[in-house]
Amino acid sequence: MHRLLCLLACLFPILASAESGRAGDEHSYAEPDKVRISNLGLALVLDFDSRTLRGHADLQLDWRDEDHRRLWLDTRDLEIERVLGKRRGSGWYKLDWKLEAADPILGAKLAIDMRRQYETVRIRYRTSPGASGLQWLEPAMTRGGKLPFMFSQSQAIHARSWVPLQDTPAVRYTYTARVRSDPEIMVLMSADNAPGEPRDGDYVFRMSQPIPSYLMAIAAGDLVFGAISERAGVWSEPATLDEALAEFSDTEKMIQVAESLYGPYRWERYDLLILPPSFPFGGMENPRLSFITPTVIVGDKSLVALIAHELAHSWSGNLVTNASWKDIWLNEGFTNYVEGRITEAVFEPETAKMEIVINETSLRDELKEVPASRQSLVLPPLTGLDPDEALTDVAYVKGHWFLRFLEGRFGREIFDPFLRSWFDRKAFESVSSEDFIAYLNVELLPKKPDAVSQDELREWLYGPGIPKGAPSTRSERLDAADKQRQRWLKGRTPAAELDTGGWVTQQWLHFLDGMPKQLDGEQMVELDSAFKFTGTPNGEIAMRWYPLAVRSGYFEAQPAIAAFLERIGRRKLIMPIYTALAETAEGRKFAREVFARARAGYHPITIGSVEAVLAEPTPSGD
């Protein structure tokens, strides 16, 4: 194998060489080449009154350097009470530790010094009420309105705000947890949640497969379970359960399709947890328990590609994980590709094509604002950048596009086994772009040596923008939406007479995406009268219509805009609206008033994003 790698390095020089300075994770204080957490044992008390978790974390350590005598951990706003060490057959010993000054992005390093290498380190601690990875909701902020709700969001580097640990995707560990709470509250984790688990205020969890820290999750509230299949189901508030089960009834079919393409599902159960609308993301792929926004429950399954995406992470991301956030395309680009294959098989090819076109249109628009240095798949170190804000659709969409490019050049009969072998051979590992490039050299490129040129690969992996040879995708349904939009814009057909019967969500999104940046008042009134966009329950439509309304001075939509921003906390849906409002002094004033009312229901990640947008001056210098 070594001789083969050397030969391929000569054949494929650009791909065989790693980019200098990319090794390691710049977003963690951990030293995984010296020592790694192998297992985490949590014992926590969940307290809604103080909005804290308190207890201890037992870190079982795998020492990689026999001379090393320190442990550096990541923390953010944690109150550390005591640090103890234990060796096999001995008791607990007090260890010297220091919580260093906090970095605004990384948090504070917990430096633990020891005279000998302890097998287990125990840290007693308490979280902050404002922990960036936890959101605490009053009963009034839930659908049921009776019990409070709490959930975590550990990606990208927020696990350190509720557990002291090596908060890097380069380190994988198993974990156990015992969580005590009010007996009325159901507690779940990204672990072995039993569908029939009783509410008794004392819950025990085990995650036997090694995961990175960003996939550790916890949630608590008035939660009940409904089965989709023997291994899949839904957890949600009681009032949401039936509609969620109906919307996501194809989940088992999705699992079976993914298994047929990429190998067995290795996480035992696949359940969905439907969170309150304040959840800042569409979904989070926590193993065994994907967190899902309720904004995709629209009654016609038109947005369930999100479920295909989170499920796809069970192979790309959870099973094979990017070793640092500068390689997130290995998670998200691969997942977008697998999502498309699942959607194509479970629904129809046209549905997958519509998603591709919409995503690629969004990427082209976003690239106008993204610096060229961050438009490549293989990114330089993100030093000084918060990974929450630094990552773009490049990882998701350009990464997906690159894999479709390879699929097209090699054919599915070659590419599908290649991708499956990547998941099989790298299972439960954390990998870099260089690892994938080396695997590409050995396992795919020799199958058709003339299929792809070195210049093409270099352009995809290291170049900005979209390569010239990128495959194009067309959708007949979206072409139809284009024609109807043009007929209306050219004054040929009134909005009420456009042929929109039977349109699905994606056609409406494309219809709005192609509109000019702003319309005149009469045009806005005509569209709204014909299609009732203002007040739509579909968040994907709202995130396109409301910015257009703001830019067009359509003040009639302001009450609905305010209601939407106060009800929804998903960043994808609300940030375009806040951004449009921030373009003028009057709009920013309105946005700040709405934000003041909505803030209590937003996740800390969302709050930071909105504050950043509203703090920026307008182009006029206001």
Evaluate whether 32-127+152-214 and 515-615 have a shared fold: no
Do residues 179 and 240 lie in contact, with contact meaning Cβ atoms separated by under 8 Å?
no
pLDDT in tens, 320-348: 999 999 999 999 999 999 999 999 999 99
Which residues have CB under 8 Å from 179's CB, separation 6+? 42, 44, 45, 46, 187, 189, 202, 203, 205, 218, 220
Q: Could you give the angle at which helices 399-410 and 329-346 cross, rounded to 10 degrees? A: 60
Region 49-71 average pLDDT: 98
Beta strands in 185-223, from DSSP E residues, in sequence order: 186-189, 202-212, 218-221
Cα–Cα distance for residue pair 309/223, rounded to 1 Å: 24
Angle at 345 between CA 343 and CA 350, to 5 degrees: 65
Nearest to 443 by CA among 469, 420, 409, 471: 420
**CATH architecture observed for domain 515-615:** Alpha Horseshoe (1.25)
Cα–Cα distance for residue pair 204/42, rounded to 1 Å: 10
Q: Which residues are catalytic?
A: 310, 396
Phi/psi class of residue 572: alpha, beta or left (left: φ > 0; alpha: ψ in -120 to 50)? alpha
Beta bridge partners of 41: 58, 176
Query: DSSP per residue over 72-118, as a string?
Result: EEEESS-EEEEEEEE-TTS-EEE-EEEEPPPBTTTBEEEEEE-SS--
Q: Residue 273: pLDDT above 90?
A: yes
* 64 or 14, greater pLDDT: 64
pLDDT grade for 617, boundaries at 50, 70 and 90: low
- Whole-number pLDDT of residue 587: 97
Class at the top of the CATH hierarchy for domain 32-127+152-214: mainly beta
Cα–Cα distance for residue pair 121/214, rounded to 1 Å: 21
Cα–Cα distance for residue pair 386/370, rounded to 1 Å: 15
Length of the chain: 622
- Whole-number pLDDT of residue 20: 52
pLDDT grade for 616, boundaries at 50, 70 and 90: low
Query: DSSP per residue over 481-501, as a string?
Result: HHHHHHHHHTTSS-GGGS--T
- Give the range among 5-9, 86-90, 102-106, 196-200 with minimum mean pLDDT: 5-9
- Whole-number pLDDT of residue 2: 38
CA distances from residue 462 to 14, 306, 327 in whole angstroms, order as listed: 10, 28, 12
- Give the range among 12-26, 191-205, 209-223, 284-298 with minimum mean pLDDT: 12-26
Where do we find the tokens 């947008």? 613
pLDDT grade for 396, boundaries at 50, 70 and 90: very high
pLDDT in tens, 504-552: 999 999 999 999 999 999 999 999 999 999 999 999 999 999 999 999 9
Do residues 99 and 128 lie in contact, with contact meaning Cβ atoms separated by under 8 Å?
no
- Whole-number pLDDT of residue 620: 44
CA distances from residue 40 to 59, 256, 591 in whole angstroms, order as listed: 5, 32, 43
In the chain, domain spans? 32-127+152-214, 515-615
Cα–Cα distance for residue pair 552/302, rounded to 1 Å: 28
Cα–Cα distance for residue pair 577/43, rounded to 1 Å: 41
Peptide bond into 156 cis (omega under 30): yes
pLDDT grade for 390, boundaries at 50, 70 and 90: confident
Strand pairing category for 232-236 and 224-227 = antiparallel
Region 556-571 average pLDDT: 96
Find the DSSP H helices in 241-348: 241-247, 251-262, 305-312, 329-346
Strand pairing category for 172-180 and 202-212 = antiparallel
Beta bridge partners of 224: 236
Q: What are phi and psi of 162, to 5 degrees?
A: -130, -5
Percentages (nearest 5) of helix, strand, coil residues in the chain: 40, 20, 40
The whole-chain average pLDDT of the chain stands at: 94
Beta bridge partners of 111: 72, 98
Nearest to 495 by CA among 538, 534, 524: 524
Q: What torsion, rounded to 10 degrees, do the Cα atoms 528, 533, 536, 542 define?
A: -140
Please give the structure tokens belonging to residue 451: 């299929």
Region 211-220 average pLDDT: 98
pLDDT in tens, 426-480: 999 999 999 999 999 999 999 999 999 999 999 999 999 999 989 999 999 999 9
Radius of gyration of the chain (CA): 25
Cα–Cα distance for residue pair 541/512, rounded to 1 Å: 8
Q: What is the Cβ-side half-sphere exposure of residue 177, based on CA atoms within 13 angstroms?
A: 26
Nearest to 39 by CA among 165, 133, 182, 129: 165
- Give the range among 47-56, 108-117, 218-227, 385-394 with minimum mean pLDDT: 385-394
Cα–Cα distance for residue pair 549/536, rounded to 1 Å: 13
- Whole-number pLDDT of residue 570: 95
pLDDT in tens, 85-96: 999 888 999 999
Beta bridge partners of 429: 320
Using a CB cutoff of 8 Å and minimum separation of 24, what contacts does 190-199 make? 190/215, 190/216, 190/217, 190/218, 190/286, 190/287, 190/288, 190/289, 191/288, 191/289, 192/268, 192/269, 192/288, 193/235, 193/269, 193/271, 193/288, 193/289, 195/225, 195/227, 195/233, 195/271, 196/225
